[in-house]
Amino acid sequence: MRFFLSAFCLLLLTSCSNLLFVPFKPFPVTPDVVELGYEDLFLDTDDGIRLHGWKLYAEGKKAGSIIFFHGNGDNISTQLPGSYWLAKKGYDVYVFDYRGYGQSEGRPDLDDTIRDMDRMIARSIREMDEGEKLVVMGHSLGGSMAVYVVAHSAHRDRIRALVTVEAFSDYHDITQETLARSWLLWLFQWPLSFTVSNAYSPEKAIGLVSPIPVLILHSRKDEMIDISHAEKLFQAAKPPKSFRLIDSGHNDIFNRKENRQVLLDYLQSLQ
């Protein structure tokens, strides 16, 4: 018991962001590995942090522009399989790493990351054609944060749609559910879940995204984020909204051609 109490006290003294963010620094590949044209993008924040990203160039006739926010425990290099194929289908794709991830500087923090993401949207828009609109897409943690960012973005007039992929609806709930899977932290799942801020609740924010269209993609087989999160997001969203069930695990969604086609069909319907 003394061990568990000591562990609990240590966790409470640790930044709550450590419960939410799992930064991944190794950078195994670049878009060269899939023979894709790209350029490095950099974004300097107001507090002196340099963030790194890529612009993946569309192949063939350009169909549009997408910014893709990756999930946790990854970076733009390790999640390249989730984004490169969109460039192969004619979309300019913008990807950035959050603070502390990949080649981005700093330490992860939810408040800072939410602000950074709207700056990333602005940085992408600067690269786009005048009047062109941007599809905002996010996987897992990236999708959940993107809901709040789009709802409150200073650039809503340039956003064509929001697409969430395997996103969660509530920071408290997902923290509790994640901790419950650990035998060491199971006892602390409830008190620790409330150390994570829910100020940016996706479920509360998604109703504010309208009239920007929303697509929610989720799998019943997701082993990390239960389908109930997607159902709550869809219920809270306002029209125009769409919900598509896909067949995949949490991290292999776009390894399957049929799932890629679901997204492509939706993107084409926006044109």
Number of domains the chain is built from: 1
128: amino acid identity, one letter: M
Instruction: Give the pLDDT band (50/70/90) at residue 267.
Output: very high
Answer yes or no: is pLDDT of 136 > 80. Answer: yes
The length of the chain is 271
Q: Is the model's pLDDT at 11 over the cut of 80?
A: no
Q: List alpha helices for 90-140, DSSP H.
A: 110-127
Tell me the Ramachandran region of residue 125: left when phi exceeds 0, alpha when psi lies from -120 to 50, beta otherwise. Answer: alpha
How far is it, in rounded angstroms, from Cα 12 to Cα 172? Answer: 15
Helical H segments across the chain, by residue range? 2-13, 17-20, 84-88, 110-127, 141-151, 171-180, 189-193, 202-205, 227-236, 257-269
pLDDT in tens, 151-167: 999 999 999 999 999 99
Q: What share of the chain is helix, strand, coil (3-state, %, to 5)?
A: 40, 20, 40
The predicted-structure confidence for 214-250, as pLDDT tens digits, reads as follows: 999 999 999 889 999 999 999 999 999 999 999 888 8
**179: domain CATH number?**
3.40.50.1820
Q: Which has the minimum average pLDDT: 24-28, 103-107, 174-178?
A: 174-178
Q: What is the pLDDT of residue 183?
A: 47
- pLDDT at residue number 123: 98
Q: Is the pLDDT of residue 122 over 80?
A: yes
* Top-confidence residue, 247 or 53: 53
Token pair belonging to 231: 């159902």
Give the strand order in the sheet containing 159-165.
38-44, 50-56, 91-96, 64-69, 134-139, 159-165, 214-219, 241-246
Tokens encoding 201:
């609740």
Residue 196 pLDDT: 63
Instruction: Decide if 234 contacts 241 (C-beta within 8 A).
Output: yes
Per the structure, the complete domain to which residue 77 belongs is given by 2-269
Phi, psi at 259, each rounded to 5°: -75, -35
Neighbours of 112 (CB within 10 A): 18
Residue appearing with tokens 């300097």: 44
Rounded mean pLDDT of the chain? 89
pLDDT tens, 173-194? 887 666 656 545 545 544 555 5
Specify the amino acid at residue 127: E
Question: 222 and 164 in contact (C-beta within 8 Å)?
Answer: no
Percent of the residues in the chain that have a pLDDT greater than 70, as a whole number: 85
The identity of residue 260, as a single letter, is: R
The tokens of 64 are what?
């549009």
Contact 94, 158 (CB under 8 A): no
d(CA 21, CA 1): 28
Say what the pLDDT of residue 191 is. 53
